[in-house]
Structure 1
Amino acid sequence: MKFSVSLTMERFSPDVPMTKVKNDLLELAQIADEGGFETIWTAEHHTLECTISPNPFQTLVWLAQHTKNIRLGTSTLVAPYWSPIRLAGEAALCDHLTDGRLEFGIARGSYQYEFDRMAGGMPQQEGVAYLKEIVPAVKKLWTGDYAHDGHYWKFPITAAVPKPVQNPHPPIWVAARDPGTFDWAIANGANIMSTPLSMPAAEIAVLGEKFAKAVSDHPEVPRPRFMMQRRTCVYDNPEDWKIAVQHSIDYGRAFENLMQNLGGVKDGFPEAVPFEAVKGKENYNPENIRKNLLFGTPDEVIEKLLDYEAAGVDQYCLGLTFNLPFELRKRTLELFIRDIIPFFAAREKERDRAMAGA
């Protein structure tokens, strides 16, 4: 199992200068690059200070100038906000400007608050139809001249300019939780990114079973990769779990606002909805959060990560964008580099030796 990290500029108060936000992101990205993480993922969101990333390609090109080896991914582009021609061209140019390090992650979109402003108020659940039309179109544009006559987009014969560096194109990742999206993504040659959200550990195995079934249903397709992301915090002092849990609770209530349009957003800062209005109140119980999310000392986190490994996860992604204090985000990366990545690298070597001797 490899490891990646989700990093997006974020601030929760106008008192925090953007210069600090930008510099904090860069420092974390460089630590991840030097420490052996496989990929940095960054989101697409609009009008929201808690995720400042109106065009993730810009962020990735900037990070490429300050890192050496780590791959750079969009997690995720929002399909209904793009046209196929623009998306194919911008992604391919990003691939060039990052020297072929782009990982192309795309999804239907999540926040209804954003859809009301970016997609004419359409229900965000309808974004999956845009996803299923735009991904095949982009792939064809990357290969050469192509005309499209679809439900959402129509254009005469054209090609993406430039073409990607990677052949035949950057790896494609699709965000999925429901079985239909797993099946469609794998049938179309995409890798899977998923999340158990704040649910108990049993959800990890449920998602793993959905992935395994979709893979078995498409033997004609080479096995794709499977990434899973969860809010993550690793600490030296066991009592620091209270810090991580409180930040997760506060962030979750702002997230509920954006998903359900239950509260206000002033100057880009979403209000946290009252606890009485949140869905899945058991997911806000401090002990449940401590148990379910990837919070813990290195030994505790390793134990939790074995569930992901058992579910067939190829890449675990550290979700660090939930207003966690900078020093704790930095320490999380340092402890992964020191204790956790080497543990799983050793397990992989041992399995390789065992298979070679079989």
Structure 2
Amino acid sequence: MKFAVSLSMERFSPEDSMTDARRQMLELARVADEGGFETLWTAEHHTIECTISPNPFTVLTWLAQHTERIRLGTATIVAPYWSPIRLAGEAAMCDHLTDGRLEFGIARGAYQYEFDRMAGGMPQQEGVAYMKELVPAVKELWKGDYAHEGHYWKFPLATSVPKPLQQPHPRIWVATRDPGSFDWAVGIGANILSTPLSAPASEVVVLGEKFRKAVADHPEHPRPRFMMQRRTCVYDRPEDWEVAVRHSVDYGRYFENLMQNIGTVKNGFPEGVPYETVANRGNYDPRAIRDNLMFGTPDEVIDKLQIYEEQGVDLYTLGLSFNLPFELQMRTLRLFIDEVMPHFAARERQNSRTNLALLNSGQTPSEHRTMSTAATGI
């Protein structure tokens, strides 16, 4: 299992400085790059200060000038806000300006508050139909001349200018939680971005089952990659959990406002709605949040990550942007780099040595696991 980080510029008060938000994101990105994280993700959002990224391609191009190796992903582009021609060209240009480090993630969109302002008030659930028409059209434009006659877009012969640096195109990732979109994404050869939100660990298993079913139903494609994201905070002492939980609970009240469109937003700042109005109030129990989310000491986080690995997650993403104080975000990265990632890297090296030894002996790793299971009766 590899590791990634999701970052956004955030302001939760008019007193918060945009200069500080930009500086802090850049500092975190540099540490993640130097520390060996595989990918940095950032999302598209509009008209809200708690996630400042009207064009993630711009943000990723900027970050590319200050990082060396980390891949740079859109998690996610919101499909109904784009036209195929514009999206194909913007993504391809970003791929060039990042020296071929772009990961192309797309979604239907989440916040009804944004849809009311960006998509004429359409229900955000309808965004999935836009995504299913948009992605194939973008792929065709990346190839060359293409004319489109669809439900949402129509245009005569056109092509993407420029074409992507990565050929045939950057890796495509689809953000989803529902089985139908899992199936569609795997069926077009895309990778999966998903999240259990604030649900218990059993939801990780449910998402893993959806992924495995979609893969099994599409043997015509190689197995795609599977990424999962959770809010993450790593701290030194077990008793430090309350700070992370308090910020997660407060952030959840902003999330509910935007998702359900049940609160007010003043000059870009959403209010935190009262707990009595939120759905799934059980998910806001402090101890449930501590247990469900990726909060803990390095040893506790290593234990929690086991279930993600067991469910076939290839890329675990640390969600750091939930109004967590900058010092805690930075401490989380440092502890993850110094104490969590080496554990998984060492185990991967051991597995590689074991598999090599088995192959040299003429036995495949799968045969070894079958014989081991038979011998132990497990």
* TM-score (ref. length: structure 2): 0.94
Q: Distance in 2 between matches of 1:208 and 1:113?
A: 30
Spell out the pairing of 1:1-358 with structure 2 (5 A cutoff).
Answer: 1-358=1-358
Q: CA deviation at 1:22?
A: 0.3
Q: Secondary structure at the match of 1:316?
A: strand
Residue identity matched to 1:201: A
Cα offsets for 1:71-106 (capped at 9, x unmatched): 000000000000000000000000000000000000
| Distance of 2:136 and 2:86 partners within structure 1 | 14
CA distance in 2, matches of 1:88, 1:119: 20
Letter of the aligned partner of 1:109 in structure 2?
A: G
Unpaired segments of 5 or more residues in structure 2?
359-378
Q: How far apart, in 2, do the equivalents of 1:216 and 1:355 lie?
A: 24
What percentage of aligned pairs have identical amino acids? 73
Separation in 2, partners of 1:156, 1:351: 52
Give the superposition deviation at 1:287.
Answer: 0.4
CA distance in 2 between counterparts of 1:347 and 1:11 reads 39
- Amino acid across the alignment from 2:249: I
Deviates more, 1:38-47 or 1:343-352: 343-352
In 1: Cα distance, 2:81 partner to 2:31 partner: 32
Indicate the structure whose relative CO is greater, using CA pairs within 8 Å and at least 6 residues apart. 1
2:17 & 2:8 partners in 1: Cα distance?
A: 15
4+ runs deviating over 6 angstroms: none
Q: Deviations over 1:198-247 (max 9, x none)?
A: 00001111101110110011111011000000000000122221010000
Equivalents in 1 of 2:81, 2:345: separation in Å? 39
Which has more radius of gyration?
2
Matched to 1:143, the amino acid is K
C-alpha separation between the residues in 2 aligned to 1:218 and 1:82? 28
Q: Give CA deviations for 1:50-79 in whole Å, capped at 9, x if unaligned.
A: 000000000000000000000000000000
Determine the C-alpha separation between the residues in 2 that align with 1:31 and 1:316: 17
Q: What stretches of structure 1 of length at least 5 have no aligned partner?
A: none
2: CA distance, partners of 1:105 / 1:334: 26
Q: Which residue of 1 aligns with 2:361?
A: none
3-state SS of the aligned residue for 2:316?
A: strand
Q: In 2, Cα distance between the equivalents of 1:7 and 1:322?
A: 9
Aligned-residue offset at 1:321:
0.7
**In structure 2, distance between residues paired with 1:205 and 1:74:** 25
Q: Which moved more, 1:22-31 or 1:341-350?
A: 341-350
Q: Distance in 2 between matches of 1:101 and 1:29?
A: 14
Q: Equivalent residue of 1:141, what SS?
A: helix
> Secondary structure of 2:86's match?
helix
Q: Distance in 1 between matches of 2:278 and 2:143?
A: 46
Letter in 2 for 1:147: A
> What CA distance in whole angstroms lies between the structure 2 residues aligned with 1:238 and 1:65?
38
Deviation at 1:350, TM superposition (A): 1.4
Q: Aligned partner of 2:151: which letter? A: H
Which residue identity lines up with residue 217 of structure 1 in the other structure? D
TM-superposition CA deviations, 1:171-210 (whole Å, max 9, x none): 0000011110000000001000000010000111110111
Q: 1: CA distance between counterparts of 2:206 and 2:355?
A: 27
| Residue aligned with 1:138, SS | helix
Letter in 2 for 1:246: R
- Rounded to whole Å, the distance in 2 between the matches of 1:125 and 1:12 is 27
Given residue 128 of structure 2, which amino acid in structure 1 is its aligned partner? V
Task: Kindly report the root-mean-square deviation, in angstroms, between the aligned alpha carbons of the 2 structures.
Answer: 0.5
Q: Which amino acid aligns with 1:258?
A: L
Moved more, 237-246 or 334-343: 237-246
2-structure distance, mates of 1:212, 1:29: 32
Whole-Å separation in 1 of the counterparts to 2:240 and 2:231: 15
Q: How many residue pairs were aligned?
A: 358
Q: Distance in 2 between matches of 1:357 and 1:200?
A: 38
